[in-house]
């Protein structure tokens, strides 16, 4: 398939700055970052605590807006959107996967996955039908009516990935998605992300683990609010 050369980058940061006021002082968490991420990339974002990576990812996820500069998602400047428009953009274009899964404890896998579709205005029957398809794609067709307590950690993360995918977003934003999993289950989850990326889905992964970052194709490293490394992954790992 030939790429659309006129299409904007999926993520574009232009001289991005984010500052916070703490105790009368100004903390600059992100300090003039300019970077682009194209459709179909698999990018790992790394950095120590306080490096700015989490602040940057909050802006990629439309959870925050810059103090100055611009963050554009699919050509849309987040700084020009109000809270309702930001929420709508998140629901349509971004699927979130978290370290602790963030599933509703007393809710079945099926209804956990269907929940984002409520905000898309779909009826219950269609929400559940789409959720079933997403869970079956994750190999959880026999676990539809299980609550999180009846699922393993790996199964819970598969439910979370299905929930992220059910709206067919432009990108998956995964924040330490293997942090609560053992090594074998982590490889399984990274294999899912690689297959999604192979099928054309953009995946942006936050991790502090070099072994996990090696599953991506490109690595961005933050330090002191700036990108100090932006390189292809030299020896990319493939999940078995």
pLDDT, position 221: 97
Rg (CA), the chain: 18
pTM of the predicted protein model: 0.92
Q: Which two tokens mark 10?
A: 């999926």
DSSP string, 37-67: E-TT-EEEEE--TTSSHHHHHHHHTTSS--S
* Domain spanning 40-66+80-232, CATH architecture: 3-Layer(aba) Sandwich (3.40)
Q: Could you tell me which residues come within 8 angstroms of residue 107 by beta carbon, excluding any fewer than 6 positions away?
A: 115, 147
Both structure tokens of 27: 């903390």
Alpha helices (H) along 64-182? 83-93, 109-114, 124-137, 153-165
pLDDT band at 5 (very low <50, low <70, confident <90, very high): low
Q: What percent of the chain has pLDDT over 90?
A: 87
Average pLDDT, the chain: 93
């Amino acid at each position: 398939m030939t790429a659309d050369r006129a299409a904007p980058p999926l993520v574009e940061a232009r001289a991005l700055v984010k500052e916070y006021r703490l105790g009368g002082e100004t903390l600059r968490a992100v300090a003039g970052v300019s970077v682009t991420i194209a459709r179909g990339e698999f990018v790992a974002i790394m950095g120590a605590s306080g490096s700015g990576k989490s602040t940057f990812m909050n802006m990629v996820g439309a959870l925050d807006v810059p103090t100055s500069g611009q963050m554009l998602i699919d050509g849309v400047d987040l700084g020009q959107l109000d809270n309702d428009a930001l929420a709508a953009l998140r629901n349509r274009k971004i699927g979130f996967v978290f370290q602790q899964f963030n599933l509703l404890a007393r809710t079945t896998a099926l209804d956990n996955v269907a929940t984002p579709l409520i905000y898309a205005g779909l009826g219950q029957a269609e929400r559940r039908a789409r959720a079933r398809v997403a869970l079956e794609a994750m190999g959880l067709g026999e676990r539809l009516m299980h609550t999180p307590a009846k699922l393993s950690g790996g199964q819970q993360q598969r439910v979370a990935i299905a929930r992220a995918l059910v709206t067919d977003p432009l990108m998956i934003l995964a924040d330490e998605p293997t942090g609560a999993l053992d090594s074998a289950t982590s490889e399984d989850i990274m294999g899912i992300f690689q297959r999604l990326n192979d099928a054309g889905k953009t995946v942006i992964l936050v991790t502090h683990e070099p072994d996990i970052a090696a599953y991506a194709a490109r690595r961005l490293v933050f330090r002191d609010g700036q990108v100090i490394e932006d390189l292809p992954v030299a020896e990319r790992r493939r999940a078995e």
